[in-house]
Amino acid sequence: MKRVVAYTGNEVAAEAMRQIEPDVVAAYPITPATEVVQAFSGFVSDGLIQTEMMTVESEHSAMSACVGAAAAGGRAMTVTAANGLALMWEILYCASGNRLPIAMTVVNRAMSAPINIHCDHSDSMGARDSGWIQIYSENAQEAYDNLIMALPIAEDKNVLLPIMVCFDGFIISHSIERVELLEDKEVKDFVGEYKPQFALLDLEHPKTFGPLDLQDYYIEHKRQQHEAMKFVPDAVLASAKRFEALSGRKYGLIETYKLDDADVAIVVLNSAAGSTRAVVDKMREQGIKAGLLKIRMFRPFPAELIAQSLAHCKAIAVLDRCDSFGAQGGPVAHEVRSAICNLPKVPKVIQSVYGLGGRDLNIEDIVDVFGDLKKVADTGKVEKVFDYITVRS
Amino acid sequence: MSEKLPGWKDIPIGGMILEAGNAAKYETGTWRSSKPIWDPDKCIHCLQCWIYCPDSSIQVKNEKMTGIDYFHCKGCGLCASVCPDKVQAITMVIEET
Ligand code: SF4
Ligand code: SF4
């Protein structure tokens, strides 16, 4: 039986973690993710769950404790945002390099300085090369669903990689939405009992984690991580299929909206997809064949699928809530561009950075992007490849 | 050397070592630039060298020192320096190639 609640993104993330009941949660609170840790530690103190809650002194310690717990053979989870994620940096690579399937919620927030607690994607995008799987969520429902689907992906025997589930700070983390929750037992059965393949506490099979690995083997181990990523799309789809049977909600690697016959399309991830969907309808009313491609799985990047899905478009705009300063566009734009560059007929591309530090992406802004795309589609010329939008000049 | 080593498909993931104690198979003796030479006639079997050797290279049987394991000894010289001053049963000599 499904339970319908009015919860914030943070509340549903905490609820998902309660239902999963991992062996260990080690976390340090940081805005806008604090509520997740607060609510979850409440569940532990109230005796609702048996999770070992470790209140550590920093995010570096939080991720280190997760690495220790996961290497011991436990299921470990944590939550962070922005500067907290940055403080975990060193250990993010230890988690992926040691092949530990830790699951972490990242509530996307701008990086200091100047200090800002609001949404952008500079935090998780900065970690895109750290060997973690990255799943992005449009709204609170997706944040909940993605978190429940995460562990079976990370723990897949061919994968064994850590996973980040991202959603937008404040826009989603602090907004109340209607969310459908699963029963506790349904979630428990879905994630199943964790049987680690390699565990330090498996005393019958003593082993060493994290030894020195020099010129003679390091690159072989990195090549293995590269290979493990190739198994992720199948694991994501398998998890989504089981989840659909349970919830009725369908998930893929990407989501498209009115893209099949679109001349112009916007590529975006997280909450901006919601507003873009509404603008697509508006454009269609005006006779513009507009479409949307929302990226759900950013790491590994589903390049082929994205290229196929955009192949027929005349012009596309990739909107990044993150800049790669000095580069020629944000990280999503770079990935999309390299995904489509070998298509027989490459769509024209506009790359825009928007919404840094929580600046709103309004309906009019998206209407303008479609206006620019229409011009590019009609003339075949891109006047400005890369620019900021939602910024005062 | 790399031709003989196993490829990425054939080694445990994550740099894990799944076999306990396999460091014993790794020859570290080639790192040595000077070599401890033990004089059994001088040795009083106090086992200070055995306590201090960082590579478990002092061989002992029935609480008596029996020799040095040159397969693992890295030639750090600790054994020579902890051997009692009045005994000096270990001398470090430059390793010849
Ligand atoms: S030289 Fe160092 S490594 Fe070699 S036996 Fe002496 S203490 Fe051990
Ligand atoms: S420290 Fe010197 S005397 Fe003592 S056991 Fe070693 S070699 Fe012999």
Q: What is the pLDDT of residue B4?
A: 87
Spatial CB neighbours of A178, under 8 Å, sequence gap ≥ 6: A4, A5, A6, A141
Does residue A316 fall inside a structural domain? yes
CB contact under 8 A, A227 and B8: yes
Residue at which a domain ends, from A216, A247, A278:
A247
Q: How far is B26 from chain A (nearest CA, A)?
A: 13
B14 → chain A, closest CA residue: A98
Mean pLDDT of B2-15: 90
Distance B49 CA to ligand 1 centre (A): 8
Partner B contacted by A230 (CB < 8 A)? no
Closest residue to atom 6 of ligand 1, CA basis: B79
Q: Is residue A349 part of a domain?
A: yes
- Domain shared by A238 and A317, yes or no: no
Average per-residue pLDDT for chain B? 94
Nearest to A279 by CA among A227, A241, A312, A317: A317
Q: What is the 3-state secondary structure (H, E, C) of chain A?
A: CCEEEEEEHHHHHHHHHHHHCCCEEEECCCCCCHHHHHHHHHHHHCCCCCCEEEECCCHHHHHHHHHHHHHHCCCEEEEECHHHHHHCHHHHHHHHHCCCCCEEEEEECCCCCCCCCCCCCHHHHHCCCCCCEEEEECCHHHHHHHHHHHHHHHCCCCCCCCEEEEEECCCCCCCEEEEEECCHHHHHHHHCCCCCCCCCCCCCCCCECCCCCCCCCHHHHHHHHHHHHHCHHHHHHHHHHHHHHHHCCCCCCEEEECCCCCCEEEEECCCHHHHHHHHHHHHHHCCCCEEEEEECEEECCCHHHHHHHHCCCCEEEEEECCCCCCCCCCHHHHHHHHHHCCCCCCCEEEEEECCHHHCCCCHHHHHHHHHHHHHHHHHCCCCCCEEECCCCC
| CB of residue B68 inside a 6 A radius of ligand 2 | no
**How many beta-carbon contacts under 8 Å exist across A and B?**
53
Q: Which domain holds residue A56?
A: 3-247
In a domain, A381, yes or no: yes
| Cα-to-centroid distance, B80 and ligand 1 (Å) | 8
Q: Is residue A393 part of a domain?
A: no
**By C-alpha distance, which of A82, A11, A68 is closest to A42?**
A11
Express as a percent the part of chain B with pLDDT over 70. Answer: 96
In a domain, A210, yes or no: yes
Query: Ligand 2 atom 4: the closest Cα is on which residue?
Result: B46
How near does any CA of chain B get to the CA of A149, in Å?
24
CATH number at residue A346: 3.40.50.920
Q: State the pLDDT at residue B2.
A: 47
Position A379 in a domain: yes
Q: Do both A111 and A178 map to the same domain?
A: yes
The last residue of a domain, from among A225, A247, A269: A247
Distance from CA of B16 to the nearest CA of A (A): 5
Residue B3 has a pLDDT of 62
Q: Are residues A79 and A206 in the same domain?
A: yes
Nearest CA in chain A to B10: A220
pLDDT in tens, A277-298: 999 999 999 999 999 999 999 9
Same domain for A312 and A202: no
Q: CB of B48 closer than 6 A to ligand 2?
A: yes
Q: Tell me the CA–centroid distance for residue A213 and ligand 1, in Å.
A: 24
Q: Is residue A211 part of a domain?
A: yes
Same domain (yes/no): A258, A229: no
Is the domain of A75 the same as that of A10? Answer: yes
What pLDDT sits at residue A1?
Answer: 62
B94 touching A (Cβ < 8 Å): no
pLDDT digits (tens, 9 = 90+) for A132-167: 999 999 999 999 999 999 999 999 999 999 999 999
pLDDT of residue A2: 76
Residue of B nearest to A161 (CA): B14
CATH number at residue A222: 3.40.50.970
CB–CB of B20 and A206 under 8 A?
yes
- A268/B20: higher pLDDT: A268
- Are A271 and A329 part of one and the same domain? yes
Where chain A has pLDDT below 50, the residues are none
Which of A247, A282, A306 terminates a domain? The answer is A247
pLDDT of residue B1: 47
Same structural domain, A148 and A45:
yes
Same domain, A207 and A134: yes
Claim to verify: residue A279 and residue A207 sit in the same structural domain: no
What pLDDT, on the 0 to 100 scale, is given for residue A74?
98
Q: Is residue A231 part of a domain?
A: yes
Q: How far is the CA of B63 from the centre of ligand 1 (A)?
A: 18
Query: Do residue A361 and residue A231 come from a single domain?
Result: no
- Judgement on whether residues A70 and A219 belong to the same structural domain of the protein: yes
For chain A, the domain total comes to 2
Which domains does chain B possess? 32-94 (3.30.70.20)
